[in-house]
Amino acid sequence: MANQVIPLYNQESENSKTDSGYLQISKVQNQSQLPSVSDPLTSLPSQINKKFTVQSDSQVEEGLKSFVHLAIILVAIQSGNFSVGYSLSYLSMSFTTLFSQITLKGSEIEEQGLFSAVLSIGQLVGAVVTKPLLKYTTRNQSLLIADFFGVLSILQVIPNREVILAFRFSYGMCLGISSVIMAIYVKELCPDKYYETFSVLASFLIAGGLFFINFIGLGYLNPDLRGEHSYYWQIVFAIPSLVHFLRSFIITIVYKIDSPDSLIQLKQPSEAKRIIIKLYQPEFVEQIFLTCLKRVENDSEQSEGFLSLFSKKHLKTVIIGCLLAFISTWCGLFALYSYCSQIFDVITDGDFTLNTIFILIIGIVQFIPAFISKFVYRKIGNRTLLLGGLLVLIVCQILIIGLSYSETVGASITSFIIICFFSFTFALTLGPITYSMIPEINTSEGTYFCFVTLYVWQLFMLYIFPFMLDALQISGVFIVFAILTLLSILYFYVYVKETKGLSHTEIEKQYGKL
């Protein structure tokens, strides 16, 4: 990453006091002096005098008090992604047991669609209400609200159809708020030097959550645990609430951390500086504070209202983000994870044991790329990885379509192997790129909008996929997925730019925003 020199405010500039809520910074007399949180703040000028400079980004990043503590904080913030991964298939493998203990009000296919879709309805509502949360709360306060809904979702364990639907919706609310806030929170709190590593961590945690629930699913091999008197499904449903309780405990109680950017936006500069003092060595505090102020100013300039997202300045990156959200849902993997038990039931011709083993293997295959993705990202740029990954996905989709016409055991095993490679490729390329590129190239408003569309597509997929599978079979469903993947790769080839090694400012210049 190229070192970026950040100019300081000219020491000869006039020191003025805050007025009408505008943020201000004090003139710096001594860069090595620890700034007091009670220092008066003077106005950040629109044109900063370039005569005075301070430490480069790389020097500032090395000024962390403890990388370990920062890593723990960032992992805790993104632990909601573990919950996202867990949510993908915990219901699918519990359908039979759950439906044997509650009264259904429609056919099993209709109820599967409803129970699956209500989570995405909650995610969509949660993502939508995040807009006012971004305006009136800090990032940590927003996560606390999300985690409240997450902890409340433990009431899903009550064996009543309406109660389960209500608190599955609550769980969706938690995931919807959390997904938007996590992406923005990490971008604001993490130094540029480490952003790539920790943004990719989202995919690692999603894969970890998926692997964990697939491992837990082995319990269903015991007939007693999947019978109509089993309580095992309630244990499975209760685990996410523990994840969200622990996240709030670590971030709020143990570290008492928040985003300095959001505190500055809410006119709490002293609190913002206090957070920076916790994370950085004294001689770097004023520099980091100034950087946060400038970042907030830039974001404010770019946040010209919701309709501005469709202006020439932002439209390209918003479309890229929305298309990433769309194709990550409609390439086939989201359906595979959400309805894995039903899909493998077709492939294994109803063999429950083989079905369960296939589900576990998929979880393992999905998890492996998480250990190597950060090394791949260092050598291959996002654009190359995205385009290459989509090409491999198309090849896998075509092979799955061809093999689906054969009912032999060999064809079934081969189909599963290809599905595993399909899952591996997604977890190495499109999956992590979606969660890292959307906030990387968009403003907070753009990121918010793209994640809202993500949940719209997931809702649509979850509700209609059982009907698609029933009407089109595996072959027809993957023909649809292959066509959509091909169209998306053509768009990405033309419009996505390489961002490897670039700072956030350089990326904005790359897409013509500055």
Question: What is the per-residue pLDDT across 111-146, written as a single tens digit (0 to 9) for each?
Answer: 888 898 899 899 889 988 988 888 899 999 999 999
Mean pLDDT along residues 474-481? 90
Q: Look at residue 480 in the predicted model and tell me its pLDDT.
A: 93
| pLDDT value at 39 more than 70 | no
176 pLDDT higher than 70: yes
> Residue range 48-71: average pLDDT?
60
Alpha-carbon torsion, ordered 135, 117, 366, 435, to 10 deg = -20
- pLDDT higher than threshold 60 for residue 27: no
Q: Render the burial of 330-359: b for 16+ CB within 10 Å, e for the rest.
A: bbbbbbbbbbbbbbbbebbeeebebbbbbb
Is the pLDDT at 230 greater than 80? The verdict is yes
Identify the pLDDT of residue 302: 58
Average pLDDT over residues 348-355: 75
Query: Given this model, what pLDDT does residue 58 score?
Result: 46
State what percent of residues in the chain have pLDDT above 70. Answer: 84
* Side chain identity at residue 77, one-letter code: I
Q: Give the number of other Cβ atoms within 10 Å of residue 306's Cβ.
A: 11
Q: Is the pLDDT reported for residue 10 higher than 80? A: no
d(CA 450, CA 473): 30
| Whether residue 45 has pLDDT greater than 50 | no
Query: What per-residue confidence (pLDDT) applies to 498?
Result: 86
The pLDDT-based confidence of 305 (bands split at 50, 70, 90) is low
- Cα three-residue angle 406-407-411, rounded to 5 degrees: 65
pLDDT tens, position by position, 194-222: 877 787 788 788 888 988 988 888 888 88
Q: Is the pLDDT of residue 395 over 80?
A: yes
Per-residue pLDDT for 3 more than 80? no
Give the residue among 257, 252, 303 at the shortest CA–CA distance from 277: 257
Distance from C-alpha of 48 to C-alpha of 8, rounded to nearest angstrom: 7
Task: With residue 239 as reference, give the H or E element that holds it.
Answer: helix 232-248
Among the residues of 79-160, which ranges form H helices?
Answer: 80-87, 95-99, 108-136, 139-152
Read off the pLDDT of each residue in 455-471 and give the average, rounded to a whole number.
Answer: 83
Higher pLDDT, 326 or 428: 326
Average of per-residue pLDDT across 487-491: 95
> Helix 409-428 vs helix 382-403: angle between axes, to the nearest 10 degrees?
170
pTM higher than 0.85 for the full model? Answer: no
More confident call, 514 vs 66:
66
More confident site: 50 or 198: 198
Q: Which of 9-13, 76-80, 132-136 has the highest mean pLDDT?
A: 76-80
Range in 58-67, 147-156, 269-278, 480-489 with the lowest mean pLDDT: 58-67
Per-residue pLDDT, 390: 95
Q: Is pLDDT at 30 greater than 50 in this prediction?
A: no
What are the chain's domains? Answer: 67-258+303-510 (1.20.1250.20)
Per-residue tokens: 126? 């949660």
Q: Give, rounded to a whole angstrom, the gap between the first and last alpha carbons of the chain.
A: 19
Which of 46-55, 86-95, 408-417 is predicted least confidently? 46-55
pLDDT confidence of residue 301: 61
Question: What average pLDDT does the chain have?
Answer: 81
DSSP 53: E
pLDDT band, very low/low/confident/very high, at 303 (cuts 50, 70, 90): low
- Helix-then-strand count for the chain, H and E: 22, 2
pLDDT digits (tens, 9 = 90+) for 245-271: 999 999 999 999 999 999 999 999 999
